């Protein structure tokens, strides 16, 4: 009987999500000197072992444009995100969808044990951030990290066109 309880307790922890930890992301959208500027669409997601693990945020034109078409029509321009999970989503998604952002530094915070982080098993992950801009370019940044973090750390990647500096801060 005691052995069964022991096995049940071990089973609860083997597939259980990692302990609570905090994650914050800052991303710079650079001011570009171009003739026709459009705010970029930006997707943030996590992958584990090369497979989609979770969507964190998607910034796109939420309302209909001048031509009467919804901004959702151009989500597929973020090709990597679209192939991994975007085409299976029905936008908008509560807690994930947001409007495009103006040039500057923007922050996302994920509280310990809440939302996506509450269900994230321990392991090696990659944060991916993809940006695509009408009459512009496309860029994908990746930051590998371990979840849950063992120590507080800030990891960075630097874009060269559509994205500036990307920082991922992890707090155990």
Mean pLDDT over each residue of the chain, to the nearest integer: 88
CATH 2.30.29 for domain 19-171, yes or no, is no
Q: Which of 4-13, 44-53, 72-81 has the lowest mean pLDDT?
A: 4-13
Instruction: Please state, for a pLDDT cut of 90, what percent of the chain lies above it.
Output: 72
Residue 70 is predicted with a pLDDT of 72
Q: Which of 33-37, 112-116, 127-131, 166-170 has the lowest mean pLDDT?
A: 112-116
Q: What's the per-residue H, E or C state across 64-110?
A: CCCCCCCHHHHHHHCHHHHHHCHHHCCCCCCCCEECCCCCEEEEEEE
Q: Which helix (H) or strand (E) holds 138?
A: strand 138-147
Q: Is the pLDDT of residue 17 over 70?
A: no
Q: Dump the DSSP string for 34-69.
A: -SS--PPEEEEEEEETTEEEEEEEEE---S--TTS-
Q: Is the pLDDT of residue 13 over 80?
A: no
Q: What's the per-residue H, E or C state across 114-133?
A: CHHHHCCCCEEEEEEEEEEC
Q: If you count them, how many residues does the chain have?
A: 172
Contact 108, 57 (CB under 8 A): yes
Q: Is the pLDDT of residue 10 over 50?
A: no
Burial code (b: 16+ CB inside 10 Å, e: under 16) for 80-112 equals bbbebbbeebeeeeeebbbebeeeeebebebee
Write down the residue that tokens 């989500």 correspond to: 75
The residue ranges of every structural domain in the chain are 19-171
pLDDT category, 1, cuts 50, 70, 90?
A: very low
pLDDT digits (tens, 9 = 90+) for 96-147: 999 999 999 999 999 988 888 888 999 999 999 999 999 889 999 999 999 9
pLDDT mean over 154-171: 98
* Separation of first and last alpha carbons in the chain: 36
Q: Is the pLDDT of residue 19 over 70?
A: no
């Amino acid at each position: 009987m005691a052995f069964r309880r022991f096995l049940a307790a071990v089973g609860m922890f083997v597939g259980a999500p990692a302990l609570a930890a905090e994650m914050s992301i800052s991303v710079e959208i650079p001011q570009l000197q171009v003739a026709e500027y459009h705010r970029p669409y930006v997707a943030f997601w996590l992958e584990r072992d090369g497979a989609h693990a979770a969507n964190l945020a998607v910034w796109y034109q939420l309302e209909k444009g001048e031509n009467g078409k919804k901004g959702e029509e151009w989500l597929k321009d973020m090709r990597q995100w679209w192939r991994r999970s975007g085409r299976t989503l029905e936008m908008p998604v509560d807690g994930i969808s947001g409007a495009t952002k103006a040039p500057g530094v923007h922050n996302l915070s994920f509280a310990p044990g809440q939302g996506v982080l509450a269900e994230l098993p321990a392991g090696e992950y990659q944060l991916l951030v993809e940006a695509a801009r009408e009459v512009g370019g496309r860029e994908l940044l990746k930051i590998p990290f371990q979840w849950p973090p063992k120590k507080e750390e800030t990891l960075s990647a630097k874009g060269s066109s559509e994205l500036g500096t990307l920082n991922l801060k992890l707090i155990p």
